[in-house]
Structure 1
Amino acid sequence: MYLGGIIKAYRDKHELSMQAFADKCGLSKGYIAMLEKNLNSKTGEPIVPSLETFVKVSAAIHMSLDELLDIVDENQPIDISGKRNVSALSSQFDNIFPVEVKKFPLLGEIACGEPIFANEDRESYVLTGTDIAADFCLKAKGDSMIGARILDGDIVFIKRQDIVEDGEIAAVVINDEATLKRVFYDRNKNQLTLQSENSKYRPFSYEGEELNHVKILGKAIAFQSDIV
């Protein structure tokens, strides 16, 4: 359900007029109407509410922001730029773009080093650009992938697939433990090797029956780091 649908359902349940709800969350009646129609009346395009709007609505319906993001449709775009003049700037500079985001389920931590337990409990969601064609994301733990610029604490976005190309980075489960490694195949030996991007870690090789205990979750296609 899009944000406007959640608002409409709340208004109907509590018998609130559009103006009453607008007053309750500090937004205009006209903007609430656009949210409920999921249509920007000025552009004719689907509306892209800001993260600030989500914060105001979550407070108005007595729900935490995380809870609201959990139930909103995963295709709901969210503007997290926080800048009212981004559109004006983007018309002046060809390398400035408004930011639209979608949310990805964060499935816990994945080892960049020795494998760790694969926790697939959905702890929360991560907001990032709509152009990332991933299915879920994991938080990197350790330093074994620093050669690929993936650092401890980075968010790694994974496209779910059972096999990756030779030399690609993948999230791999070994006996219910997960790790992030570069994958290499030796088809002559029927051998799979998981290689770190840090020389202090040795590669892991699997062949024969051992391959039955190795499962590729998906291909790492992007990562997100904090600027420090």
Structure 2
Amino acid sequence: MAFRTEIKNIRLEKKFTLRQVALQSGIDAGYLSQLENGKRNIPKPATLEKLAKGLRISKEEIFKLAGLETPKPSNIEYIGSNFVNIPVIGEIACGEPIIAEENISDYVPIPSDVVENGTFFILNCIGDSMEPTISNGSQVVVREQPDAENGQIAAVLLEDENTATLKRIKKTKTNVILMPDNPSYDPIVLNEDRPGRILGIVKMEMKRF
């Protein structure tokens, strides 16, 4: 099967649009469209590596599809057939999609069965407001979605600060309250004076030693 057909099939299987792959890879969407339509030759290795990130597959797989020898991967970037690369969000740029390239600081391999059915990202946890449930310094895998149920732990963007916080969701008739698990911290009430939006729900915590 031709390289262009292979990468298009992967994109469609993962339910990514060309724009999503472009944002995740840093490659122009027009170029990606031409690549899928056979109007571009197989990209150079550096572009293949970016495309692998955009499609969330390993470098080994993308180079194999391109018929090239796989470069020796680093220990953090290598993923096997049962793992996928998930972006770590370092900062949140105002107005940008959460997994826009501008926001991504790294990628971490995660078991593929953990991240089925959705778009996922990783946040570094700073602070102890969710202890003992989530430890300071750990990482959490978040499934991107615009809402959460009562009691779920969600990543919430505080729009007046352009920062994300992890809190347990409590909904009332008039407000959404962000509840810390650590009783030493006060809840945060989202309203006109303190706007915010849910980015996704926490699916897994990863301890870092």
TM range (shorter): 0.5 to 0.7
In the other structure, the counterpart of 2:140 is 156
Work out whether residues 121 and 141 of structure 2, in 8 Å CA contact, stay in contact via their aligned partners in 1. Answer: yes
CA distance 1:216–1:9, shift in 2 (3 Å)? closer
Q: CA deviation at 1:201?
A: 0.6
Amino acid at match of 1:218: G
Q: CA deviation at 1:9?
A: 6.4
SS at match of 1:173: strand
1:140 pairs, out of 125, 131, 141, with 125
2:88 pairs, out of 100, 103, 106, with 106
Work out whether residues 171 and 178 of structure 1, in 8 Å CA contact, stay in contact via their aligned partners in 2. Answer: yes
Q: CA deviation at 1:57?
A: 3.6
Matches of 2:147 and 2:137 in 1, distance apart? 25
* Match runs of 1:55-66 below 5 Å: 57-59=70-72, 65=74
Amino acid at match of 1:36: K
Aligned length: 140
Work out whether residues 91 and 103 of structure 2, in 8 Å CA contact, stay in contact via their aligned partners in 1. Answer: no
Q: CA deviation at 1:170?
A: 0.5
In the other structure, the counterpart of 1:27 is none
Matches of 1:224 and 1:109 in 2, distance apart? 19
In the other structure, the counterpart of 1:206 is 190
SS at match of 1:147: coil
In the other structure, the counterpart of 1:78 is 79
Matches of 2:44 and 2:185 in 1, distance apart? 54
1:171 pairs, out of 155, 165, 189, with 155
* 1:92-121 deviation line (CA, Å, top 9, x unaligned): xxxxxxx921110101279xxxxxxx9962
CA distance 1:210–1:163, shift in 2 (3 Å)? farther
Matches of 2:64 and 2:188 in 1, distance apart? 53
- Alignment identity in percent? 27
Segments of structure 2 that go 5 or more residues without pairing to the other structure are 1-6, 11-41, 46-59, 93-97
Q: Structure 2 length as normaliser, TM-score?
A: 0.56
In the other structure, the counterpart of 2:105 is 123
Matches of 1:37 and 1:123 in 2, distance apart? 27
In the other structure, the counterpart of 1:192 is 176
CA distance 1:109–1:145, shift in 2 (3 Å)? farther
Q: CA deviation at 1:167?
A: 1.2
Matches of 2:175 and 2:171 in 1, distance apart? 6
Matches of 2:163 and 2:44 in 1, distance apart? 42
CA distance 1:205–1:10, shift in 2 (3 Å)? closer
Q: Structure 1 length as normaliser, TM-score?
A: 0.52
SS at match of 1:131: helix
SS at match of 1:36: helix
* 1:38-58 deviation line (CA, Å, top 9, x unaligned): 9xxxxxxxxxxxxxxxxx943
SS at match of 1:141: coil
Work out whether residues 109 and 141 of structure 1, in 8 Å CA contact, stay in contact via their aligned partners in 2. Answer: no
SS at match of 2:109: strand
CA distance 1:186–1:100, shift in 2 (3 Å)? same
CA-based RMSD: 3.6
SS at match of 1:162: coil
Q: CA deviation at 1:152?
A: 1.7
Q: CA deviation at 1:210?
A: 3.5
